[in-house]
């Protein structure tokens, strides 16, 4: 009998729990390595910008955080759709585990943006399209977490939260374009896959930092999903066995 | 098909007419909030004229939101909602009826009173017309999107505050184009583009939002 690798095998909390536990150190190590390489390139190798001086280096945190805040929302919406369509338990746990990291990234992006804006534009905050839509994205994360926290029954929380995420993901482009037409003075996007206006080292530094944030997000989400599993499945035998036998 | 929608509208309107105080209090909330702004900002006509569209729209969002929790809560409490969900008709159509009824008792009164409040802010006739048109076009979208939030928060503790957290970010496009239509008219650009987008959002939300709300209601009723 040939044993084929079956992805669905890990759709159950009992099998995913040890897998996540085994993967966390790898993702954490990858995050640290990417982070060290990215910071080295960004802080030491990348040339000083002739207009913005050294202050621009906050871009190596700011841009990856913004990317991740949007990406994590999409990933959550993806898991929400899977959860609603196939009624899987793990999807809802995954979306809940991702939400705080996504909100953190949105907050980091706004915070570093303000720190960057003060020396460059002379103001902490401007009501332009990208800042405003990032702020609204943070509101969407907070709305999701508030809704999930208010529902006691975890199954209902998963489904209601998932539906809210899907409604949100349909609305995100509408919100983005409405805010964009409303007001635009943010500088144009300077990262472009075909032709980039940045020095190559800067681009590499940013991509490495984005990988670092990505791996960090996965590691943290796995750690969080493990605790969610233990909490929700506390009445099952496998959780009791784990808790009785100590860690692992 | 349409029979269900009209039957639900007629029923909800009859219920609303038996409790007119609810309609009137939401309307007065709108009037009071709008009247507070000049008191806080100062009576300079130039400033007020500039602020009027935004103030009226934000107050309209809040007034609509205030009446949302009752959209499903009463029917949920006395079991009517479960019967509606069990009926052979698609729940989405029932919700469509409820959304239209909600607009008739919350959005329509706001539309009718808006020009009077606009006069308080010294708006020109042209701006008043566009403002009223924009509120007429935009408030159905508020009822539609709000129904999703009302269904998601059905029966939860702290439902009202939670509802505002969920729904207000989704209202932003309506606010932007609604207030933008008046601004564009005043500045001479013409508000037709804004009004068209507002109409598009209303039709899209009336078409899709009831089905999303129906899905949320089914989750809540499980």
Examine the pLDDT at A194 and tell me if it is beyond 70.
Answer: no
A89: CB partners within 8 A, 6+ apart: A12, A13, A158, A232
Pick the residue with more confidence: A51 or B46? Answer: B46
Inform me whether the pLDDT recorded for A1 exceeds 60: no
Rounded Cα distance between B78 and B81, Å, is: 8
Distance from CA of A60 to the nearest CA of B (A): 29
- Average pLDDT for B55-60: 93
- Give the nearest partner residue to A147 out of B157, B166, B177, using CB atoms: B166
What are A231's two structure tokens?
Answer: 């909490």
C-beta separation of B134 from B49 below 8 A: no
The reported pTM is: 0.87
Residue B3 has a pLDDT of: 86
Residue given tokens 């080292």 in the structure block: A201
Of B166, B180, B222, the CB nearest to A164: B166
Strands in chain A per DSSP E: none
Residue B89 domain boundaries: 2-221
Residue A75's pLDDT is 94
Q: Angle at Cα B137 formed by Cα B131 and Cα B143, nearest 5°?
A: 115
Cα B116 → chain centroid? 19
For residue A197, the model assigns a pLDDT of: 58
Q: Which residue in A has a C-alpha nearest to residue B171's C-alpha? A: A175
Most confident of the following: A106-110, A191-195, A198-202, B124-128:
A106-110
A123/A211 Cα distance (integer angstroms): 30
pLDDT of residue B183: 84
**In the predicted structure, residue A54 carries a pLDDT above the cut 50:** yes
Contacts of A151 in chain B (CB under 8 A): 156
Q: What is the pLDDT of residue A198?
A: 63
Check residue B49 and give its pLDDT.
87
Question: Is the pLDDT score of A44 beyond 70?
Answer: yes
What is the enclosing helix (H) or strand (E) of B122? none
Q: Is the pLDDT of residue A193 over 60?
A: no
Q: What pLDDT, on the 0 to 100 scale, is given for residue A166? A: 93
Banded pLDDT at A237 (limits 50, 70, 90):
confident
Q: How confident is the model at residue A192 (pLDDT cuts 50, 70, 90)?
A: very low
Question: What number of C-beta contacts closer than 8 Å exist between A and B?
Answer: 67
Listed residue (B97, B104, B128) closest to B213, CA to CA: B97
pLDDT of residue A187: 45
Looking at residue B21, what is its pLDDT? 87
Structure confidence at residue A50 (pLDDT) = 65
**Residue B103 pLDDT greater than 90, yes or no:** yes
Over residues B119-164, the pLDDT tens digits come to 988 888 888 999 999 999 999 999 999 999 999 998 888 778 899 9
Q: Euclidean distance between the first and final Cα of chain B, in Å? A: 25
Q: What's the confidence (pLDDT) of residue A26? A: 93
């Amino acid at each position: 009998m040939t044993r084929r690798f079956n992805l669905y095998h890990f759709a159950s909390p009992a099998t995913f729990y040890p897998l996540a536990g085994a993967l966390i150190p790898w993702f954490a190590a990858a995050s640290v390595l990417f982070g060290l390489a990215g910071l080295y390139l960004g802080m030491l190798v990348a040339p000083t910008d002739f207009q913005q001086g050294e202050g621009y280096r906050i871009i190596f945190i700011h841009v990856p955080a913004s990317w991740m805040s949007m990406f994590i929302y999409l990933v959550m919406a993806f898991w929400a759709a899977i959860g609603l369509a196939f009624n899987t338990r793990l999807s809802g746990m995954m979306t809940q585990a991702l939400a705080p990291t996504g909100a953190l990234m949105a907050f980091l992006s706004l915070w570093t943006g303000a720190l960057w804006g003060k020396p460059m534009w002379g103001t902490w905050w401007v009501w332009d399209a990208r800042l405003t839509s990032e702020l609204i994205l943070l509101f969407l994360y907070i709305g999701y977490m508030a809704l999930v926290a208010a529902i006691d029954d975890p199954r209902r929380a998963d489904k209601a939260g998932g539906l809210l995420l899907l409604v949100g993901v349909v609305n995100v482009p509408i919100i983005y374009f409405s805010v964009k037409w409303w007001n635009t003075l943010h500088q144009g996007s300077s990262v472009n896959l075909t032709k980039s206006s940045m020095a190559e080292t800067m681009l590499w530094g940013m991509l490495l930092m984005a990988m670092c944030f990505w791996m960090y997000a996965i590691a943290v989400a796995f750690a969080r999903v493990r605790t969610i599993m233990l909490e929700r499945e506390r009445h099952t035998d496998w959780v009791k066995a784990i808790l009785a036998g100590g860690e692992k | 098909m349409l029979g269900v929608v009209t039957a639900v509208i007629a029923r909800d309107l009859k219920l609303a007419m038996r409790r007119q105080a609810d309609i009137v209090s939401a309307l007065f909330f709108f009037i009071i909030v709008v009247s507070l702004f000049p008191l806080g900002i100062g009576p300079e006509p130039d400033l007020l004229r500039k602020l009027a569209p935004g103030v009226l729209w934000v107050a309209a969002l809040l007034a609509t939101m205030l009446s949302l929790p009752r959209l499903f809560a009463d029917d949920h409490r006395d079991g009517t909602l479960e019967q509606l969900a069990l009926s052979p008709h698609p729940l989405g159509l029932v919700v469509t009826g409820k959304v239209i009824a909600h607009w008739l008792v919350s959005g329509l009164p706001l539309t009718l009173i808006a020009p009077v409040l606009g006069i308080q802010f010294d708006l020109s006739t042209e701006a008043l017309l566009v403002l009223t048109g924009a509120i007429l076009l935009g408030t159905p979208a508020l009822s539609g999107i709000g129904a999703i939030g009302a269904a998601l928060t059905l029966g939860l503790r702290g439902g009202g505050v939670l509802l505002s957290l969920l729904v207000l970010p989704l209202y932003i496009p309506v606010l932007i184009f609604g207030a933008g239509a008046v601004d564009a008219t005043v500045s001479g650009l013409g508000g037709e583009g804004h009004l068209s987008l507002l109409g598009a959002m209303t039709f899209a939300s009336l078409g899709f939002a009831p089905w999303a709300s129906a899905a949320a209601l089914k989750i809540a009723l499980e």
